[in-house]
């Protein structure tokens, strides 16, 4: 015979072979939907509304650029109508493809140098003990507080003395020097999180520190590499000052320098400038959206460990 046992206000049937093992789903109270749970929590509602307002503020410039890039100057002033004439003016006034390629070449070169040097330096600070290590590390961290405006003139003079002005190598080296302190700090934090048991096991197997760095450290540092690459790409891509001073020939200009030249004329077409700004912003946006998962994990790796 089937028996039933009472547990507080619940009654569970059992004893028979065909008796149900738990309360039927139909007798369970329905779970409140997510929207009902949000409505019951005033704090969550406030956070949700605040995020909507912040999102609107952040997205408004992009909506403004898209809308006005599809207008002529007359339509922009009147606020009516749409046209593709501004895009024709942009591509007719600037070699947009060449400038995008120049920007990409400089970004890739600088990021490659940053990743190679920062990963080696971070591994050395994290796993190798040497005299003056703490003082040198704090010196590198202090370089993060030096503004680029205070060193750009000495850098220009030094690069001019070695005949690197109007050469792609000049901005690549400057951007690499500016990005190395933060990248070294981030890689040091990452490599400090590697288990010491893994390091000792590799050394006992005769791998050595160089083998440990290449075979273990570099392979496990993908989140840190992605974080550094995304942050440095956005910073280098959007920079104007360094490229404007070091690349002065029209054939070497980056996209940001080209937009600066476009806006420095006697007559400035605002819709064409909006179209150029949209073209310039899209690569950085796409890189961020594609690597945002790795960016978040890389920035929080010190907290998780």
% of the chain exceeding 70 in pLDDT = 82
User: For residue 1, what pLDDT is reported?
Assistant: 46
> Is 298 part of a structural domain of the chain?
yes
The backbone torsions φ and ψ at residue 259, rounded to the nearest 5 degrees and listed phi first, read -65, -35
33 in a structural domain = no
- How many whole angstroms separate alpha carbon 217 and alpha carbon 192? 11
Which three-class secondary structure state does DSSP give residue 239?
coil
Task: Write down the pLDDT at residue 30.
Answer: 57
Alpha-carbon distances, residue 157 vs 135, 163, 177, 284 (angstroms): 29, 10, 16, 30
Whole-number Å distance between alpha carbons of 119 and 135 = 19
**pLDDT value of position 4:** 47
Residue 180 token pair: 């190395």
How confident is the model over 253-281, as pLDDT tens digits?
999 998 888 877 666 788 888 998 899 98
State how many domains the chain has: 1
pLDDT confidence of residue 127: 84
Whether the predicted pLDDT of 9 surpasses 50:
no
Angle between helices 96-127 and 133-142 (to 10 degrees): 150
CATH of the domain at 138: 1.10.3720.10
Least confident residue range of 64-73, 100-109, 207-216:
207-216
Which phi and psi angles does 11 have, rounded to 5°? -130, 120
* Ramachandran region, residue 68 (left: φ > 0; alpha: ψ -120 to 50; beta: rest): alpha
Domain of residue 219, residue span: 95-304
- Residue 195 is predicted with a pLDDT of 79
What's the CA dihedral at 268, 273, 276, 277 to 10 degrees? 140
The confidence band for 297, taking pLDDT boundaries of 50, 70 and 90, is low
Please give the Cα distance from 91 to 68 (Å, whole number).
16
Band of pLDDT at residue 32, cut at 50, 70 and 90: low
Residue 66 resides in a domain: no
Q: Does 40 reside within a domain?
A: no
Please give the Cα distance from 283 to 186 (Å, whole number): 24
Domain annotation covers residue 70: no
Q: What is the mean pLDDT of residues 213-235?
A: 88
For residue 126, being part of any structural domain is answered with: yes
């Amino acid at each position: 015979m089937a028996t039933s046992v009472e547990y507080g206000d619940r009654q569970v049937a059992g004893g028979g072979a065909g008796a149900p093992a738990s309360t039927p789903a139909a007798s369970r109270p329905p779970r409140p939907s997510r929207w009902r749970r949000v409505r019951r929590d005033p704090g969550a509602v406030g956070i949700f509304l605040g995020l909507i307002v912040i999102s609107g503020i952040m997205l408004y410039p992009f909506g403004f650029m898209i809308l006005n890039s599809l207008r002529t100057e007359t339509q922009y002033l009147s606020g009516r109508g749409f046209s593709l004439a501004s895009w024709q003016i942009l591509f007719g006034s600037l070699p947009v493809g060449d400038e995008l390629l120049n920007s990409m070449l400089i970004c890739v070169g600088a990021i490659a140098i940053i990743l190679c040097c920062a990963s080696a330096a971070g591994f050395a600070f994290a796993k190798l003990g040497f005299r003056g290590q703490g003082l040198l590390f704090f010196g590198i961290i202090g370089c993060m507080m030096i503004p680029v405006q205070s060193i750009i003139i000495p850098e220009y003079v030094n690069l001019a003395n070695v005949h690197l002005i109007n050469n792609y190598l000049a901005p690549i080296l400057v951007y690499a020097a500016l990005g190395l302190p933060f990248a070294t700090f981030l890689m040091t934090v990452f490599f400090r999180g590697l288990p010491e048991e893994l390091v000792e096991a590799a050394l006992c197997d005769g791998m050595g520190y160089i083998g440990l760095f290449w075979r273990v450290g570099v392979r496990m540092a993908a989140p840190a590499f992605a974080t550094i690459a995304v942050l440095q790409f956005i910073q280098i891509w959007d920079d104007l000052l360094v490229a404007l001073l070091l690349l002065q020939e029209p054939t070497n200009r980056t996209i940001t320098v080209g937009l600066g030249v476009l806006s420095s004329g006697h007559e400035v077409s605002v819709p064409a400038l909006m179209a150029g700004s949209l073209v310039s912003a899209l690569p950085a946006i796409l890189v961020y959206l594609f690597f945002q998962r790795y960016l978040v994990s890389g920035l929080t790796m010190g907290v998780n460990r």
